[in-house]
Structure 1
């Protein structure tokens, strides 16, 4: 079990050591889709709410797989992805998305909502208009969050039925704020856990390199 900041460190060190983050995203998306197929096969109308970072990219991959399996999938996007990997996935998969402002109109057209809005690197309370969208998302009947519930630990957070999290359990997550917690292995090499790298600078903000900070923001 680890703290959320440890996963940010892990992501940065993985990037530093040349691990294929695109492949990890594929594995995460496949894990999400597989869980939904096994546990929510009766919920054919699925709405994915995808943020700008890699969390949204996981949702893109899962959406594509579920579309191929006959589910009726609608993707809602906050804006154009800032994550290079997520943006590339969206284009490669030939996906089409609606603006998140239309989400409220889909409550009666959605059996399952998948929360891929905010990743584990977001700190503090969600700002406007994201806080408003989180309130709308919470009005849906059945919610699955990806990695962590969006806004976890803040005054405005998703309250999911299930959270599919990756690599290891997060200290900050429990059944009360995350629902049932499902662990999905996305294929991080074991040696990453045993090596240090530039990600460790995130523990010391006064020494944090701006390039690392910029790369982290693009990955969320």
Structure 2
């Protein structure tokens, strides 16, 4: 199934290439700007009916051109409008100069703007392509607007937010509404950019979709279209062994709960059988807490190696509550030819020797899924984590290529990346998923889908999305026990 344009995430460079291609193909570029500015004005009028005055801040490029069009449209609607410019408007070129000429409002220097009660700011200073800190004069305006509590409608992206990384560049507007065009950009979906954008509206301004599709890279917003075709089917002749056998490894008697959460989640997502592999010292405790999940004693790597000769064992989850150390490393080495989700303690066990982990899974198809949060990511990929020139999607993609693994870089803006460069940003997770054990449930969900034969990248994307769905259904106050029981396969 192809992914529709609504889930594309174009980088600023890719969007610039689209603009150039559209102009080269004979499309009226000023017509695109006209439609963009009109869309901004319509959104501002629709969502800010309380405005006494629309203050349009116009930058020195095409984003400013969109602002001049929006200012004209707002004036034609009967609204009071004030326009302020950054830089010398006489130096504008091309479509931006044409837009300024067509705007009947005189403009003043942005330094002269002083917020007043009833203002709504239309921020058309910089678009998604900003890659350097905003100049001091803009930082001062942002500070004044923020202090006054003025509502902001941003054009393309709030000024000061990096369109590629979603990071504030010195200072950034907090928008009530952001109006962008054709597709969202990474900065709309990555934190903290996502929170600075407010509600995002995406307007189709008439650029042919073939041009957008032709210049889009491999980054997407996580959506069922990415993985629906890979979901396992359960026919009328279904049998538990055909639905896969998931194995989850338990830690010692004081840390067994995490593995049980993973086991339940793996069952709920559709695995036909789930076995909790437990050390002898935790068998009794686990036995008293399990029903449909089976239990097997596995104390050391020798016992594990003998057991996994059974090819019906389909996928494995190691890490939740397992313990950090040599035992985890030996178990991972024994499992290196099998689909494995490595989480929590499993990841931290390789913090001193990450290359030893990567070498185990370097050949063949992708069968390792790593699920690090920010701290765990930095332990496995310290140089990538420390590179401030990279955004989260770039970091995850580089890590995935290095590890020959699918990397689920967790957070409010979880990024799923594959070794071949594909990546998706997940946006449906509610904030109350930030609770102890939530990651254990996610690991079990990924393992359950791997056990049913899904490819690693699609399994990870599907599990992350359904994890968010389950959290949204449960609502505020959820616990991880609730979450494991709320998982749905479809």
Query: What is the TM-score with the length of structure 2 in the denominator?
Result: 0.38
1:109 Cα shift?
Answer: 5.0
Q: Which has the larger radius of gyration?
A: 2
* Distance in 2 (alpha carbons) for counterparts of 1:44 and 1:133: 19
Partner of 1:86 in structure 2?
96
1:85 Cα shift?
Answer: 1.1
* Distance in 1 (alpha carbons) for counterparts of 2:25 and 2:139: 36
Partner of 1:148 in structure 2?
157
Partner of 2:15 in structure 1?
7
Higher relative contact order (CA 8 A, sep 6+): 1
Gaps of 5+ in 2: 1-8, 162-166, 216-490
The alignment status of 1:157 with 2:172, answered yes or no, reads yes
| Number of corresponding residues | 194
* Distance in 2 (alpha carbons) for counterparts of 1:119 and 1:83: 16
Aligned equivalent of 1:188, options 203, 207, 230: 207
1:122 Cα shift?
Answer: 1.7
Q: Is the CA contact 2:124–2:155 (under 8 Å) kept in the aligned structure 1? A: yes
* Distance in 1 (alpha carbons) for counterparts of 2:104 and 2:178: 27
Partner of 2:67 in structure 1?
59
Structure 1 pair 50–110 and aligned structure 2 pair: CA distance change class (3 A)? farther
Aligned equivalent of 2:111, options 101, 120, 133: 101
Q: Is the CA contact 2:63–2:127 (under 8 Å) kept in the aligned structure 1? A: yes
3-state secondary structure, aligned to 1:151: coil
Partner of 1:119 in structure 2?
127
Give the CA RMSD over aligned residues.
Answer: 1.8
The alignment status of 1:29 with 2:37, answered yes or no, reads yes
Structure 1 pair 108–92 and aligned structure 2 pair: CA distance change class (3 A)? closer
Gaps of 5+ in 1: 197-220
1:186 Cα shift?
Answer: 1.0
